[in-house]
Amino acid sequence: MQSVAASDPAHFREVLSHFASGVVVVTAVVDGTPVGMTCQSFTSLSLDPPLVLFCPARTSTSWPVVQRADWFCLNVLSSEQHGLSNGFAKSGSDKFAGVSWTPTPHGAPALDGAAAHVEVRLAHVFDGGDHHIVTCHVESLQSAADSEPLLYYRSGYRSLQSLSQLV
């Protein structure tokens, strides 16, 4: 295995793409309009107090809007939702066109068909280089008993069942 300096961005991306993760869509309603963005950089952080984190890029146009909301929903996507993942990653598009959702107890969009919904409110925003590190207090959460998660690995979508490329 050959080691290459971390200053090569393409190599940095390629090597770190070996870390498989799930995919969330961060959603909120701001001034009556639903907003959202796809994030792979999501993790459970603390049990007491209950905290999670995700990392939006400084270039994101959705994050500064989402940040204005009191409540967000972190939608853990299920294996058949790779289309939603791509849709919520397209800057400037009407991301909620044709997307069905149900309000969480505090009104954030819980995307129908997601594997889990985690309703949160903002705790802190830390510096993370060209990203922000956003920690959130978890207020309520629920999961669908029998759904398969959407996985992201080496720049492609996978499912747990086959570990095969979906798209």
Ligand X SMILES: Cc1cc2nc3c(=O)[nH]c(=O)nc-3n(C[C@H](O)[C@H](O)[C@H](O)COP(=O)(O)O)c2cc1C
Residue in 52, 53, 55, 74 binding ligand X, rule: CB under 6 A: 55
Residue in 28, 39, 136, 138 binding ligand X, rule: CB under 6 A: 39
By the rule CB under 6 A, 75 interacts with ligand X: no
Q: How far apart are CA 97 and CA 77, in angstroms?
A: 17
By the rule CB under 6 A, 76 interacts with ligand X: no
Nearest of 100, 128, 123, 102 to residue 39 by alpha carbon: 128
Residue in 75, 136, 152, 158 binding ligand X, rule: CB under 6 A: 152
Query: For residue 33, what are the β-bridge partners?
Result: 30
By the rule CB under 6 A, 41 interacts with ligand X: yes
Q: How far is the CB of 25 from ligand X (least distance, A)?
A: 8
- Collapsing DSSP states into helix, strand and coil, what is residue 79? helix
Q: How far is the CB of 20 from ligand X (least distance, A)?
A: 11
The separation between the first and the last C-alpha atoms of the chain, rounded to the nearest angstrom, is: 29
